[in-house]
Amino acid sequence: MIVTRKWLEEFIDLEGIETDEIILTLNRIGQEVEGYKKIEIPQNVVIGEVIECEKHPNADKLNLCKVNVGDEELQIICGAINVAAGQRVAVAKIGAQLPELKIKKAKLRGVESFGMICAAREIGLPDFHEGIMVLDDSLGKLKIGEYVGKYLNDEIIELGVTANRGDSFSIYGIARELSAGINKSLKSLEFNYEEMQEGIGRVVNIDKNELKKSSHLLRAVEGEFNVPFKIEYRLALIEEEAKNKIDKFIKYAMHATGVLLTPMNICNIELDNENGADVVKCFGKYYVGIKNDIVVEENGKYLIDANFINPKYVSEIVFLNGLKTDEYFFRASRGSEPDLNFGMNYLLNEMKLPVFSGDIDLSNDLKPKIINININEVKEIIGFEIDEKSIVEILKRLDFEIKSITDESLKVAIPVFRHDIENIQDITEEILRIYGIDNIPSKPLVFEEKNRINDNIKKIEFLNELKLKAVANGFYEVIHFVFEDKQRLKKYGFEVVDDNLDLINPIANELDTLRSTLLLQLLDDVRYNRANDYKRVYLFTAGSVYNSKREEKEQFAFVLNGYADYENPINHGKPQKVQFKDAVDKLSQLIGDFKLTEGKHSIAHPYQCADVIKDGEKIGVIAKLHPKVAKDFDIDDTYFAEIDLDKLDKKSKQAKEINRFQKVTRDLSLVVDKDISYKNIYEIISNLNIEELKDFYPIDIFDLGDKNSLTVRFKLQGQKTLQENEINDIMEKILKALEEKGIRLR
């Protein structure tokens, strides 16, 4: 909502009040000021009168004008097609500094020019007309030679009026707010227009009247419109565009008063109700407070309908019937100004056309709501006592009528333009905003305590711990939208949300569904950062993913790409590239111990992919990215892991007695078939359940041609120091078990 200071001054006397104070007041009372701009015409731009205007002797497209600027007559060359003798215009005199040029004496095609006749744009105003700007007396009686800023300078205040305050979507509405805010009454306005002998009944018939919910006030005018400069100028300042002359008047008066005004040509109108919506029919339809499809021809005879409809009602009708709407609905649904006479008179006063006498008044009287206010309840809501006298004073400033008053309570009538006030909390807000939140002291809350450390807090702490470990391991955290490209998910074999559960209105094609994996977005990031010359890209993310039934779960994922270390003198600037083992090590640094079994994943290298098993349950996957997928993303070797957060163990660890006897190390080098994975050997040995075997793990593998040599290291420890023969017995037992499966010592 844009207001200008001068326009506000039509309704309220602001003399002696700085605009800064107005802005402060508006903010304080809840009319948020979102922007402020000063319109200031450059100095040395004055009102001039074009006395003569002829063609330039040497140039067809130029005019040679004589312009009276008060103390002198200037010869000015002007290229505008619309310049003509008799016009009053803005003249930039020599020396004037305009936004884009400084005015100097000039010679054009051999003739001297002593200034410039300006277009609005050239003196820093919005560009709202063709040619030069032609002024009139609508912004004050023009005095030749006077500084143009005296008439045109203004200040623009842009307000973020909230959706509940339909009463504030007009200059008048804001003036009314300001009047309460600075405690100063509004001006009483006088409207003048010529009334004809002929009555409205002579030209307008109502053929049918089935209106149910709306109020209307109809008047008719006759004549040809002359749009004054003030209206053209202010419409430009509030950034409104109008279709034609009558539309300019209507838009201007609606912005000024907040009353819904609908113009039409003189006709026999039908007032109807269609599916609950009141409709005015005349060369098209006007759905009251919803949408205006009436076509108006500029034929000299017009009918104006000032109208009002209950905002809640019209919102419901539109919602239930899915109706199309325009700017009428914007105002009506928030609550337009119900004072129809005011809106009508303001418009007629500006139009300056003869008006047919009389009106057609189809109003339903709006009855003010009556609300009881318990003074103590107001105190409890605010947490501070404002005395009853101040409350009464504030409510009066806001046009609330005090119906009755006792020590404990008030009965008030709500002004009919305040559609938003319904209960005591609404009224408390009114009291609070005018009293000033700044004047309410803050107060700590007294509260009965209990333990509020719940599982959610524990979960957040657990996730944070995980994130901090990842950061300590060199990973950057990234965050993505939960949206993905459904085609892409399908292409890479991921689960997708069922079509009948998917988004109706995605923001973009590549964000048209909910993600089922965190990985593809991470791969996008790998590509992005590699392209930015990062040679070591370690990223992780945590967030929600969805299955085909659109069930939510939280996952954690990381990617490793490029170098395992940074470039430095030790590695001669050529660090090793990350390998499968690096990914596994990183994962174990984050989530602790786990086991790997061979696994499958739609974007994994088929022979470098493992399921991550913790306490016998699969909790995720770790793998090398399939080279084909890597190629699609234009990246090289990449490793990834994706883990179910909910399946991670958050239990406390249980300690065992420390075994203080000596540990013994033995290695076995075995000859194994190439298609046997270490997991087989691991299982054979584990199944022996040897109590003294505390740990064993592979330490070397190399190619023997058709077979592999695999060296496994064993850590033995007993409940006493193990003797050589005991150790040998254990190793024999292991070897025997392996030999039974065809695995022998090398």
Partner 1 sequence: MDLDQIKKAASLEELEKIRVSLLGKNGIITKRFKELKNLSNEEKKKVAKELNELKEKALELISQKKYELEEELLNMKLKSERIDVTLFNPKPTGAIHPISDTMNKIIDFFTKLNFSVETGPLVEDDFHNFEALNLPKYHPARDMQDTFYFKDGTLLRTHTSPVQIRTMLKQKPPIRMISPGAVFRRDYDLTHTPMFHQVEGLVVDEKGKVSFANLKFILESFLIHMFGDVKVRFRPSFFPFTEPSAEVDISCIFCKGEGCRVCSHTGWLEVLGCGVVDPNVFKAVGYENVSGYAFGLGVERFAMLLNRINDLRSMYEGDIRLMEQFK
518 token code pair: 């965190």
Sheet with 370-374: strands ordered across? 370-374, 409-413, 401-405
Q: Does 574 bind partner 1 (CB under 8 A)?
A: no
Neighbours of 127 (CB within 10 A): 10
Minimal distance, residue 475 CB to partner 1, in Å:
5
CB of 335 vs partner 1, minimal distance in Å: 9
Please report how close the Cβ of residue 356 comes to partner 1 at its closest, in angstroms. Answer: 36
**Residue 650 in contact with residue 458, Cβ under 8 Å?**
yes
CA dist 526 and 531 (Å) reads 8
Count of other CB atoms within 10 angstroms of residue 685: 19
> Applying CB under 8 A, which of residues 365, 448, 703, 706 lies at the interface with partner 1?
448
Supply the DSSP symbol for 640.
Answer: E
Q: Is 18 in the site for partner 1 (CB under 8 A)?
A: no
Among 28, 121, 129, 213, binds partner 1 (CB under 8 A): 28
Q: How far is the CB of 596 from partner 1 (least distance, A)?
A: 24
345 vs 200, 264, 286, 341, CA distance in Å? 15, 17, 21, 6
CA distances for 105 relative to 102, 353, 418, 428, angstroms: 10, 44, 58, 65
Q: Which of the residues 527 through 556 are near partner 1 (CB under 8 A)? A: 528-529, 532, 534, 536-539, 543-544, 550, 552
| Cβ closest to partner 1, residue 449 vs residue 657 | 449
For position 573 contacting partner 1 by CB under 8 A, the verdict is: no
Angle (nearest 5°) at CA 328 between 325 and 330 = 75
Please say which residue, 38 or 143, places its beta carbon nearer to partner 1: 38
Residue type, 146: E
Q: Contact 559/583 with Cβ under 8 angstroms?
A: no
Helix (H, G, I), strand (E, B) or coil at 214: strand
Task: Please identify, using beta-carbon distances, which residue of 508 and 658 lies nearer to partner 1.
Answer: 508
Number of neighbouring beta carbons within 10 Å of residue 261: 23
Q: How far is the CB of 315 from partner 1 (least distance, A)?
A: 4
Q: Is 576 in the site for partner 1 (CB under 8 A)?
A: no
Complex with partner 1: residue 166 or 263, whichever CB lies closer: 166
Closer residue to partner 1 in complex, CB, 194/477: 477
Instruction: Indicate the residue among 229 and 329 with the shorter CB distance to partner 1.
Output: 329
* Shortest distance, position 32 Cβ to partner 1, whole Å: 6
- Please name which of 523, 587, 519 lies closest in space to residue 555, comparing C-alpha atoms: 519
Which residue number, 58 or 162, has a Cβ lying nearer to partner 1? 162
User: Tokens standing for 514?
Assistant: 């909910």
Least distance in Å: CB of 473 to partner 1? 7
359 vs 420 by CB, closer to partner 1: 420
316, 327, 361, 634: which one binds partner 1 (CB under 8 A): 316
Q: Which spans in 109-153 are helix H?
A: 149-152
> In the complex, what is the shortest distance from the CB of residue 394 to partner 1, in angstroms, rounded to a whole number?
13
Contacts with partner 1 in 491-510 (CB under 8 A)? Answer: 499-508
Q: How far is the CB of 537 from partner 1 (least distance, A)?
A: 7
| 44 vs 547 by CB, closer to partner 1 | 547
Given 17, 33, 84, 94, the residue binding partner 1 (CB under 8 A): 33
Residues 603-632 close enough to bind partner 1 by CB under 8 A: none
Of positions 13, 21, 27, 669, contacts partner 1 by CB under 8 A: 27
Question: Among residue numbers 369 through 398, which ones bind partner 1 (CB under 8 A)?
Answer: 380-384
> Site residues for partner 1, window 655-674 (CB under 8 A)?
none
Residues 129-168 that bind partner 1 (CB under 8 A): 162-165
By C-beta, is 188 or 505 nearer to partner 1?
Answer: 505
Q: At what angle do helices 229-237 and 245-257 cross, to 10 degrees?
A: 60
Using the minimum distance from each CB to partner 1, give the nearer residue, 338 or 718.
338
When binding is defined by CB under 8 A, the residue of 170, 292, 307, 428 that contacts partner 1 is: 428
CA 615 to CA 329: how far, in whole Å? 62
Task: Give 508 or 655: the residue with its C-beta nearer to partner 1.
Answer: 508
Does residue 279 bind partner 1 (CB under 8 A)?
A: no
Given the rule CB under 8 A, which of 120-128, 289-297, 428-436, 593-601 is the region that contacts partner 1? 428-436
Given 185, 299, 406, 442, the residue binding partner 1 (CB under 8 A) = 442
333 near partner 1 (CB under 8 A): yes
Q: Which is nearer to partner 1, 270 or 502 (CB)?
A: 502
Per-residue mark of binding to partner 1, 455-474 (x: CB under 8 A): -xx--x---x--xx-xxxxx
Q: Which two tokens stand for residue 261?
A: 């005004």
From the CB of 633, what's the least distance to partner 1, in Å?
A: 13
Q: Helix 388-397 crosses helix 424-435 at what angle (to 10 degrees)? A: 90
C-beta closer to partner 1: residue 113 or 516: 516
Query: Is residue 646 a contact residue for partner 1 (CB under 8 A)?
Result: no
Q: What is the rounded (10 degree) CA torsion for 62, 63, 64, 70?
A: -130
Alpha carbons 18 and 586: distance in angstroms, whole number: 64
Q: Of 149, 139, 161, 167, nearest to 2 (Cα)?
A: 161
C-alpha pair distances (Å), 543 with each of 412, 521, 554, 559, 644: 52, 12, 5, 15, 10
Nearer to partner 1, 431 or 710 (CB): 431
- Reported for 268-272, long-range contacts at CB under 8 A and 24+ positions apart, including other chains, are 268/204, 268/205, 268/206, 268/207, 269/204, 269/205, 269/206, 269/207, 269/303, 270/206, 270/207, 270/208, 271/206, 271/208, 271/209, 271/210, 271/211, 271/216, 271/362, 272/208, 272/210, 272/211
CB of 428 to partner 1, least distance (A): 6
Instruction: Select from 224, 365, 453, 656 the one that contacts partner 1 (CB under 8 A).
Output: 453
Min dist CB 258 to partner 1, Å, is: 15
Backbone phi, then psi, for 62, in 5-degree steps? -110, 155
Q: Is 699 in the site for partner 1 (CB under 8 A)?
A: no
70 contacts 79 by C-beta, under 8 angstroms: no
**Among residue numbers 508 through 527, which ones bind partner 1 (CB under 8 A)?**
508, 511, 514, 521-522, 524-525
- Residues 49-108 touching partner 1, rule: CB under 8 A, are none
**Which listed range, 53-61, 74-82, 357-365, 444-452, lies at the site for partner 1 (CB under 8 A)?**
444-452
CB-based contact 245:230 (threshold 8 Å): no
- Residue 529 Cβ vs partner 1, minimum distance, rounded to whole Å: 5
CB 301, min distance to partner 1, A: 36
CA angle 505, 506, 508 (to 5 degrees): 135
Pairing assessment for the beta strands 154-160 and 2-4 based on DSSP bridges: antiparallel
Q: Residue 404 Cβ, how far from partner 1 at the closest point, in Å?
A: 23
DSSP alpha helix (H) spans, 183-308: 229-237, 245-257
- Residues ≥6 apart with Cβ < 8 Å to 639: 559, 560, 561, 578, 579, 580, 582, 583, 622, 623, 624, 625
Binding residues for partner 1, total number by CB under 8 A: 98
- What DSSP character marks residue 536? E
Of the pair 214, 529, the CB lying nearest partner 1 is at 529
| Closest to partner 1 by CB, 28 or 577 | 28
How far apart are CB 164 and partner 1 at their closest, in Å?
Answer: 5
Q: Which is nearer to partner 1, 47 or 432 (CB)?
A: 432
Scored b (16 or more CB within 10 A) or e, 528-543 reads: ebbeeeeebbbbbbbb
Report CA-CA distances (Å) from 217 to 82, 368, 729. 40, 20, 110
585 binds partner 1 (CB under 8 A): no
